[in-house]
Structure 1
């Protein structure tokens, strides 16, 4: 029976490695602690009392700005139901709207978030970052000129954390289109390319500077709880990797070869698991003088 290398040799018409889905967390270092929040309210905003009402006012003003954006630009607003598949809604609206480098629609969903709890002591307030609540999160589903379909999710409660979701395959597709290079796609990846070497070189080019650029671009274009003045003062989001998926796509010349490859990989993994499995413990029985049962030794 052929091994994996023999199955691959001469039967792979395209092989490409690429970043696939990339989920990034946006956080505000200056508001990571209760002390940072109090400093923001009293020193940056200049309020004598760090009241939680100030945070509510910021959220309300931001929600009004989001609704105004939707109204002015004719952007649909979808309130997701519990258990509703967001990707299916997004795919349908992307096809219907067909916009380029714009917000496709805005989604609203109640989801869990960690925020601050406040307690009043005398004439001031003290905060703890220990409260878990279900609050509205706003999803901005976007068609970006360079990255294609992306979304930015913003929590409506302080400290207004966010998530950015990108796809390296979609970025590579947009770059190939700009180069005028012909290719065929899979649901999430590539089936063929007129120049496989250039395809791999394109996938390899995606780096932190591209991600930072698209992130900053949409921070400028979308209404957010923080103004440009706030961000200039240091109250700005930073990105960290929440989840990164890397894919290796191999296209076989015949479906049968793909099935054989899959079966051989499964066989190898079962063999490895069997080798790692500890030997079974010996089982012995002894007679019990006061009963009819057996016991394991």
Structure 2
């Protein structure tokens, strides 16, 4: 960019700002396998090597192979402090992202018992900058708050055969597609997980029965324990990538209800699947008997389960008269103060509360 006279501000090994972002992107896209190969041929013509003219005429040549490839996405934050808070929340919400089902979703590769390698999430803190690492076979995704000003997501492929791709340089475009797709999928999962709030209309729509093409879908009432169990089963990421069957969901659903899988019949589970499908939370995988969550379904399941398990259940336990004496009392005091204020106002206007 200096040669072209394009003003920019560096961010370590990235770019913080640039007066011509489109030109910058064209420069980055121009680093392809042909340009790298030309650089190799340039230096091979200058440096001594064992292939003489006759060897080269016979077809003996050097070929570049890829031992490691890194594909990074740097998103500069206009409010770095807010960005750091967001990233720390993302880490908390996605500590299970290294589970096989999650890795499968991110890398779009099937993971089974025979798949080698580790599948784990690690949170590493260097100084005061946390980073999130997701391992898949010999490759990994790293995400961190770069220089306090940007969110950096980078996929490092240490063995191209992890993705059934050869090592020769001509495979760089396919590796590039895999790497950047993994970065984007990671961010999409985090976005849905972080921003799972539902609007009033969407929430109320779930509390009522729906009629779709003459079919009736019973309501998904928030306070219904069976609905909570059903959505907790759905939110398991292992079901997201390759879909799930009636039996898959039935087993998880039964455990959450404290039942054995055999105590819930396939017919009852078909009823629940139909209800979820008509509400738009799941969709059938074409030409199969498997289902997958929609974005609306994942958002709804996260909202229902998080509000219930993180706000309502612990909050009501704190304000209950039976709450342990050692539990935080601030919420109890607030409710008691509000109750006393209402009672005092009722006394003033001579209304029995």
- Give 1 or 2: higher strand fraction: 1
**Same fold by TM (over 0.5)?**
no
- Where relative contact order (Cα < 8 A, 6+ residues apart) is larger, the structure is 1
TM-score by length of 2: 0.27
TM-score normalised per structure 1: 0.32
Structure number having the greater helix percentage = 2
